[in-house]
Structure 1
Amino acid sequence: MMKTSSKMLFFIMTMTSTMMVLSSNDMLNMWIGLEINLMSFIPLMYENKNNFLTQSSMMYFLIQSMASMMLIIMILMNMFMYINMWMEMMNIIMLTMMMKMGMPPFHMWFPEMMSKMSWKTCIMLMTWQKVAPMYILSLIMNNNKLTMLIMMTSTITGAIMGLNHTSTQKIMAYSSINHMGWMMACASMNSKMWIMYMMMYSLMTIMLGMYMYKYNIMYTNQYNNMSMNMTEKMSVLVMMLSMGGLPPFMGFMPKWITIEYMIMSNEFMLLTIMSMSSLITLMYYLRMISSMMLIMSHSQKWMFMNKKEASTNMLYINMLMPMLIIMLNFM
């Protein structure tokens, strides 16, 4: 086990390195921030030592360092070459950021790593570790055919590949890939709006991930054996539907905004494909919780007033957030 002081140090370094990327206006400084982030996140994986963690940390290091090498080569070429190839370099930098985030076609390491790690590091990998690459991606993104193809591939891969697995960690990984496609669409239409998407997605992922951690759920069939009260079941149901992007839950709000921007940009074909893939993700979330809600619902008590349960608060947050945003828009 790692000492708490060491873990705290690496955690602060991971947070600070991402903030360094967000506050830099030079690509070289951003590269340094990404390298610090990589080297400080790897020790955080070692919560309990086993062979899987060694394998996944090596996998993470190789993929991230390969992407970093490509990034620094592009930066140096831009600094020291006299030929103007900035557009071609931008496309390669975009591909390196996709490698870092685990987006298709460079996504195979991401679900494999997720299935070998603890839930706490999984949550961090799905949320905070995506902020810095996504920020760089939003700066260099162009509305060209390559970007459209990447969005389409991400949403389709995240939806269809998630159907093949029973591991909840792999399903969450493919759901994250699907959300990355939506986030890219949001960033390409409005360069700042992806931040709101990322915040909402992170909030939903953290809440759902903490539930998985609390009950140690690794596979979908474990939902049948859970000793939950009805309130907790309802909270999990709401969070799952929210992650799938079903109205009127919180997860639909950022997708709704992205849909509006895409309609204004006349991207109807891309929007149709992304919306259909979003329905498939909703299907595998429903498949995960249908047995828990339908078969195991013996209790007639709802116990919404138990203030000690954090799950009740999570339910309220999920339910009230869309209403608050709609009210703010009308004010």
Structure 2
Amino acid sequence: MMNLTKLIFFLMLMFSTLFSISTNSWINCWMGMELNLFSFITLIFNQNLFNLESTIKYFIIQAITSMFMLVSIMLYTQNMFEFNLMLLNLSLFMKLNSSPFHYWGVNLIQGLTWQNLTIFLTWQKIIPLILIFYNFNMMMMIIFIIMNSLFGSIEGLNQTNLKKIILFSSINHMSWMLMIFFLNENLWLGYFMIYSMILMIIIIYNYMLNNIKITQLYSIKMNTLNNFFMMMNLLSLGGLPPFLGFIPKWITINLMVMNNFYFLSFMMVMCSLLTLFFYLRLFYSSTFLLSFKIKWIMTMNLKNFFILNTLSFISMTSLILSCML
């Protein structure tokens, strides 16, 4: 019965997202987002102290942003277009967990399971992203792109919690998504699908190994093939060439240079290198240090990793594709 209930609310979550992005009325968009909020809260709720705290935090933040969004919709009839546009965009960026409004997300993810974290970092970003570009403001967009790129890369350097590392990497990826959405909407869809696939594979690996901290990587011994595929996906998410995660960033850089965004492209590349650094820390921890034959290291039975390794092999196709490009 519990699984059936979660399935119903999961389908409701999907339907509310499709409803919000396909309607032509702001009130309907707001109603779809409220239905999405109700569905996601039901999915993440559990009889656990940390989970209950995360549920309450998520509800309060989403309720406040929904109130701001509803007020901005009502101001459309009051000849206050500039203030209304700013208020609506700020509420959507807060829902998106974008910098500098990302601190509620940092506290929230502590009580989320790996499955719910996947939904929070992928599917829950679709509605705010698309609604932001319904009322586009160039200056505000550049400001938020810069802040996402800087905060997502710098604040992730001193983190030891794997969930927080993935969250700050997601904030950095948000700057690339905003930029490529501005340049080409169709390419944004490809970027989002590649990012979601790689992130999902990494999260499933950590879920099966029950990893929370970087230090736990020292106490798990995987065979060479599984370790190779996991590290390859980490480097791909960081955007290291010639892996699959580098190709959408490469396309974004080319479009930015063609549109004369030289300084912005340079800054985003430098910040992306910082995010690659804390993925290289994970690569060093679970590859080089585990090459020593330490007796107390726990050996995992990873027969169930066959499907994950098959999905991870998709990243290798970018080696051929990048050479062709």
TM-score interval (norm. to shorter): over 0.9
1:37 corresponds to: 36
The answer to whether the aligner puts 1:138 opposite 2:133 as a matched pair is yes
Counterpart amino acid of 1:214? M
- CA distance in structure 2 between the partners assigned to 1:243 and 1:95 by the alignment: 28
The answer to whether the aligner puts 1:154 opposite 2:153 as a matched pair is no
Matches within 5 A, 1:1-331: 3-46=2-45, 48-78=46-76, 80-81=77-78, 83=79, 85-144=80-139, 146-297=140-291, 309-321=306-318, 323-324=320-321
Tell me if the contact between 1:142 and 1:188 (Cα under 8 Å) persists in the aligned partners: no
- CA distance in structure 2 between the partners assigned to 1:120 and 1:295 by the alignment: 29
- CA distance in structure 1 between the partners assigned to 2:28 and 2:318 by the alignment: 36
- TM-score when scaled to structure 1? 0.91
Tell me if the contact between 1:235 and 1:314 (Cα under 8 Å) persists in the aligned partners: no
Aligned length: 316
Tell me if the contact between 1:241 and 1:249 (Cα under 8 Å) persists in the aligned partners: yes
Tell me if the contact between 1:162 and 1:284 (Cα under 8 Å) persists in the aligned partners: yes
- CA distance in structure 2 between the partners assigned to 1:290 and 1:266 by the alignment: 37
Tell me if the contact between 1:21 and 1:30 (Cα under 8 Å) persists in the aligned partners: yes
- CA distance in structure 1 between the partners assigned to 2:305 and 2:8 by the alignment: 32
- CA distance in structure 1 between the partners assigned to 2:25 and 2:243 by the alignment: 39
**Alpha-carbon displacement from aligned partner over 1:256-314 (angstroms, at most 9, x marks no partner):** 11111111111111111111000000000111120211121259xxxxxx997123213
- CA distance in structure 2 between the partners assigned to 1:196 and 1:208 by the alignment: 19
Tell me if the contact between 1:231 and 1:311 (Cα under 8 Å) persists in the aligned partners: no
Identity of aligned residues (%): 34
- CA shift, 1:143, in A, is 2.2
Tell me if the contact between 2:146 and 2:175 (Cα under 8 Å) persists in the aligned partners: yes
- CA distance in structure 2 between the partners assigned to 1:223 and 1:26 by the alignment: 49
SS at match of 1:104: coil
- CA shift, 1:28, in A, is 1.3
Counterpart amino acid of 2:288? L
- CA distance in structure 1 between the partners assigned to 2:168 and 2:305 by the alignment: 33
**Alpha-carbon displacement from aligned partner over 1:196-236 (angstroms, at most 9, x marks no partner):** 11111111111111001010110011111112111111011
- CA distance in structure 1 between the partners assigned to 2:184 and 2:5 by the alignment: 39
- CA distance in structure 2 between the partners assigned to 1:270 and 1:188 by the alignment: 13
- CA distance in structure 1 between the partners assigned to 2:132 and 2:11 by the alignment: 24
CA RMSD of aligned residues (A): 1.9
| Structure 1 unpaired stretches of 5+ | 300-305
| Structure 2 unpaired stretches of 5+ | 294-302
- TM-score when scaled to structure 2? 0.92
Counterpart amino acid of 1:26? S
- CA distance in structure 1 between the partners assigned to 2:133 and 2:257 by the alignment: 20
**Alpha-carbon displacement from aligned partner over 1:4-63 (angstroms, at most 9, x marks no partner):** 1111111111111001112112211111111100011001113x4211111101100111
- CA shift, 1:324, in A, is 4.9
- CA shift, 1:325, in A, is 7.9
SS at match of 1:192: helix
